[in-house]
Amino acid sequence: MAGMFAIILTLATFLTGILWFLEKFKWKPERQRKVEEVRKQTDGKIDGKILAEVGRPKKWVDSMASFFPVLFVVFVIRSFIFEPFQIPSGSMMPTLLIGDFIAVQKYAYGIKDPITNTTIIPTGTPQRGDIAVFKDPRHPTIDFVKRVVGLPGDKVVYQADTKELLIYPACEVTSDNCEGQQTIPLNLNYGPITASDWVEVFGKNSANFYTNEEYNNLNLPTDGSSLAFTLNKRNETLGDVAHDILLLPMQVNSVKDFYKQVGQKPGEWVVPKGYYFMMGDNRDNSDDSRFWGFVPEKNFVGKVSAIWVSFDKQPNEWPTGIRFSRIGGVN
């Protein structure tokens, strides 16, 4: 959807731009010369209304050309500076909630062609701990938002029993004998596991997330068709970024469900050059690199920098309010 909008915006800007330039530098000067010719032929005695009519542009041209400055500004901002996105799922809770509208820095990982997403001018690369928007490698028309966990060359190990990460970073190329990963994993500074303020409610065909206060005000059916579990939270540090993750106590992932990389044990991955390993903060409710593999650098759209508005809502439902306290930067 975002890709189609980019194509439509680009075409609209291009077409209205052509009309704007033709009007400004060709058609308008021609009309002005014609007005002067008529004025000279009548010794200036012609009715001003007639002269105004001679010099008036066609309505459709004037209307279309007038859109160009606005479309051009929107095109530049959206394509190269910031692009708005809406969070539709809970995979990045508690950092990003359903109903958050985020601003994404388009220039963080390079100035890119707005249609093909090809890097034109390199400006930087994704860093460990960044929250980034990228194209789903399986379905390039779909945008995902996850956290950067593994960088090129890293070895990432997900311990399914403890739900902890081990990351062996690629050694810095400072000598000819640098090969593979460092033998000592990063200190991710895991904090204690505590109960969060979030409850996950499973219905017949869906799972929704509620605060404890919202959950206490729900009128859930008593026929057993709904189950509720309080999510646990834990602090984790990736790079220089400390953030909370959510864990579903009853959820146990089997390494057999994970993406199997050739030459590696189940639940272990070595990130190839030019690729990244992405995970959601809501660890037991995230479809991420653990299940389908790596994200090529070319798929990155930008870095999430802030929440500019937040609506209190559930998926596919109308907002019930605005969460003003959530507006601001994210990490």
Residues marked active site are found at 91, 146
Angle of helix 2-22 versus helix 59-76 axis, rounded to 10: 130
The rounded Cα 309 to chain-centroid distance in angstroms is 15
Angle at 124 between CA 74 and CA 135, to 5 degrees: 60
- Beta bridge partners, 223, equal none
DSSP string, 163-215: TEEEEEPBPP--STT--SB-SS---------EEEEEEEEE-SS-EEEEEHHHH
User: Nearest-CA neighbor of 151 among 91, 239, 235, 92?
Assistant: 239
The candidate with the shortest Cα–Cα distance to 19, out of 79, 66, 86, 71, is: 66
- Angstrom CA distances, 148 to 92, 119, 242, stand at 12, 19, 13
Three-state DSSP class for 144?
Answer: strand
Residue 192 amino acid letter: P
Residues in contact with 21: Cβ distance below 8 Å, sequence separation at least 6, in sequence order? none
**What DSSP letter does each residue of 28-75 carry, written as one string?**
HHHHHHHHHHHHHHTTT-S-HHHHHHHTPPPHHHHHHHHHHHHHHHHH
Closest alpha carbon to 188 in 161, 156, 160: 156
Q: Is the dihedral of CA 128, 258, 118, 147 positive or negative?
A: negative
> Are 303 and 331 contacting, i.e. CB atoms less than 8 angstroms apart?
no
CA neighbor of 153 nearest in space, from 180, 188, 191: 180
